[in-house]
Amino acid sequence: MPAPAVVLDVDGTLVDTNYQHALCWYEAIRQHGVHLPVWRIHRAIGMGGDQLVSAVAGEEVEREHGDEIRAAETTLYMATIATVSPLPGAAEFVRFLRERGHDVVLSSSAKAQEVDRYLDLLGVRDEVAGWTTSADVEKTKPAPDVVQAALEKLDRPERALMVGDSVFDVEAAARAGLPTIGLLTGGFGAQELLDAGAETVFASLADLRDGIGKTSLSS
């Protein structure tokens, strides 16, 4: 039986972006007269921008300012994207999976220019079967669209598993019929990820690599 395919989340899993995004959403929302504590916004990172504004600021703010807030967040984030780095061992983990015979696809609903930047940082274009961007999805996580789009890059493999850092990754994967291995690299707690449905949780990619024999990726 072939090794299961791996759908790898990008933000917070392979590249360290969650806190930049939290601060940029904070400022974008503040520019429209709404002041929220950053921790509340962080709790929604991993959810797509099409859903985040209403989730943290309410439906009225979404109706009146949603598009402007999203545009402002994009501008703010692109001004800080030079501060983004790969998480430790990210590129090595992708190559490790390929050496084990796993097909790998990167699952992101970020804009194409952001994903291109991450691919350059990681240097794994030739190691993966493909990647997704915002152009591939109608609705972002926790909807399953981005996971389903990733699976389509792999010609719908018989078996696949997701690796992600947020509860929204876990929920989206479950709705697409995939189990998830959770990581603590995005700032969500282990119990939160398990409660969302993750089969197991590791502190980092390095820990997952070391413990892969205890996961569904071992079979």
Residue ranges for the chain with pLDDT beneath 70: 219
CA 23 to chain centre: 17
To which residue do tokens 């974008």 refer?
A: 28
- pLDDT tens digits along 65-117: 999 999 999 999 999 999 999 999 999 999 999 999 999 999 999 999 999 99
Identify the pLDDT of residue 218.
Answer: 86
> What 8-state DSSP symbol labels residue 107?
E
pLDDT value of residue 19 = 96
Q: Under DSSP, is residue 40 helix (H, G, I), strand (E, B) or coil? A: helix
Residue 219: its pLDDT value, please? 66
Composition of the chain by helix, strand, coil, percent to 5: 50, 15, 35
Beta pairing class for 5-9 and 160-164: parallel
Domain boundaries, the chain: 5-16+85-218, 18-83
DSSP type of residue 184:
S
Tell me, what's the pLDDT at 158? 82
β-pair partners for 200: 181
Tell me: the pLDDT tens digits for 205-216?
999 999 999 999
Domain 5-16+85-218 has CATH 3.40.50.1370: no
Give whole-number Cα distances, 111 to 60, 136, 195, in Å.
Answer: 26, 10, 30
Cα–Cα distance measured from residue 70 to residue 25, given in angstroms and rounded to the nearest whole number: 8
CB 147 within 8 A of CB 122: no
